[in-house]
Structure 1
């Protein structure tokens, strides 16, 4: 057989996760390639970050000969986080988690199959990055996902406020905005802020699109440190082939001044929303605080401390 007649070696399907997840993340259509970025399953410290998300700062529990249950496990400060099928407990009719979630960590002597270790185990179901008609790239599931089950994280560079503000204010209306701001109200009226940008370094969560009626719920989950993992759980049963989505606003600071709803601070046009839901708000949410300047408060932020 001539060399030119030798069969070509089969090509491996593209894995967006670069082998760093439990299961590969495929791409559709075949041969398509998302823009370049560095894949990381976990957060990394970015400019201005107050803490290194990879540093272990929580002490471990002492559950060596007994199961991790509330009352004896120091990681379970309120109630069990997950049921026997690894689903987030007590989502309630509004599909919202109402208590802080702490998982057992690297210093805990409990085994890897401990019921309080879910998010840290990573992807468990096959996901696929696909090209949408009007929203750029999107993410769908190739397998059924029951309500309450962990799906994926939204991981990337953890930024300080100034760096997050600098990056978002440099964007044009044609740029994708990956930056998410998560605010948690804690004891004493304090608010903990976490800013994550997976544009340069991130995981599969960076391909999730917004929906005004999403099928995923984002819950901050702490494992090794106070830097939360932004875990996404199924807010309802999700069928194979269905696009995965979450609410970009998180119900935080998604307000406008009422006079110019299409433009955040600086007069930049807001991007239209193509989620197609019955309750679509027409525009993608934005975090007004990231447009605030000392000279001019952001829309809807006048007089706010």
Structure 2
């Protein structure tokens, strides 16, 4: 089977999602697939203070089929979706407001339009081998702009454990650990560390691009631990590789931007192969994860 016909033969092929997703996820070439423990949602890992599977949010008391922002406690920051598409996903793709979906404690129906990410995969995706980037993820069907595509799920770690793991990596190891920092009131920052290296979902196969077609949004459903939801930043065509910006930005700064971050080539070391016009040449680098580990003290 050629690369021009991904997924043409799915009979008897192993499902990368292990039957844990709404739809089977194929792989190409057939028979080749990295080994890891599959989880469709976050699991608690070393150092995590909150169990992501624990229900901590009270539900809304809406008795209508679909919730309205004027009365629903889950929509205090406004409506999140319009016909399953993320709202306010225009212009430069900046999306700053919090997103809360209705949860298992809510009295609204399962058909409520404020339930999108929790419904899981809605498009046929495929894990495939790229020329230079190792494994990647692509869609086998058209995905409209604004639609939810998949999550980036794995072990939720404490900050010390995340730093320990990343500092043990060699330059030949792939780094799957992601740090999400959300700025809230009074200058406070909520940090979430996710590692899908050994326990994760198909999001672990997403490659970086300096001009990505996905936008990552923290979405909260049952817990304060956010689901890292990836939405289509534009219309995505069949067979197109899916990607997001590892730095958290949607677009890289241009070379003429005075605020452009200049990467430390000695530290970064890993080239970017996205081949876009605004390619920064190296993958994004989070220096905070390489800071010295805190020394443990005993009384």
Give the superposition deviation at 1:294.
6.8
Alignment CA distance shift 1:251-1:293 (3 Å):
farther
Q: Please state if 1:79 is matched with 2:82.
A: no
Structure 1 pair 30–66 and aligned structure 2 pair: CA distance change class (3 A): closer
Residue of 266, 270, 275 corresponding to 1:263: 266
Q: Which residue of 1 aligns with 2:21?
A: 21
Distance 2:68 2:20 in 1: 31
Q: Bigger CA drift: 70-79 or 89-98?
A: 89-98
Contact persistence 1:96–1:217 (CA under 8 A): no
- Provide the C-alpha distance between the structure 1 equivalents of 2:218 and 2:129, rounded to a whole number of angstroms: 28
Change in 2 beyond 3 A, CA 1:165/1:80: same
Q: Give how far 1:251 is off.
A: 3.7
Q: Secondary structure at the match of 1:123?
A: coil
Distance, in Å, in 2 between the alignment partners of 1:121 and 1:25 is 16
**How many angstroms does 1:92 deviate by?**
2.5
| Alignment correspondent of 1:276 | 275
Partner of 2:297: none
Residue 231 of structure 1: which of 225, 229, 232 is its match?
Answer: 229
- Say if 1:145 and 1:234, in contact at 8 Å, map to a contact too: yes
Aligned with 1:195 (options 193, 204, 210): 193
1:54 is paired with a residue of what secondary structure? coil
1:164-202 CA-partner distances (Å, limit 9, x unpaired): 000000001110100000000001110000000000110
TM-score by length of 2: 0.89
Q: Where does residue 185 of structure 1 map in the other structure?
A: 183
Question: What is the CA distance between 1:221 and its match in structure 2?
Answer: 0.1
Whether 2:53 is the aligned partner of 1:36: answer no
Aligned-partner Cα distance in 1 for 2:172–2:78: 45
Asked if 2 retains the 8 angstrom alpha-carbon contact of 1:105 and 1:223, the reply is yes
Structure 1 residue 65: deviation in Å? 3.6
Q: Which has the larger radius of gyration?
A: 1
Q: Is the Cα–Cα contact under 8 Å of residues 68 and 114 in structure 1 kept in the other structure?
A: yes
Shift >6 Å, 4+ stretches: 254-257
- In the alignment, the residues of structure 2 paired with residue 204 and residue 126 of structure 1 have an alpha-carbon distance, to the nearest angstrom, of 12
Residue 117 to residue 282, structure 1, CA distance change in 2 (3 Å): same
Q: Which residue of 2 aligns with 1:298?
A: none
- In the alignment, the residues of structure 1 paired with residue 186 and residue 207 of structure 2 have an alpha-carbon distance, to the nearest angstrom, of 34
RMSD: 2.0
> Matched residue of 2:288: which SS?
helix
> 1:226 and 1:63, CA in 2 relative to 1: closer, same or farther beyond 3 A?
same
Q: Which runs of 5+ in 1 are unaligned?
A: 1-9, 296-305
Paired residue secondary structure (2:74): coil
Paired residues for 1:167-178 under 5 Å: 167-178=165-176
2:285 corresponds to = 286
TM-score, scaled to structure 1: 0.87
Equivalences, count:
278
Deviations 1:115-166 (A, max 9, x none): 0000000000000000000000000000100110000000000000000000
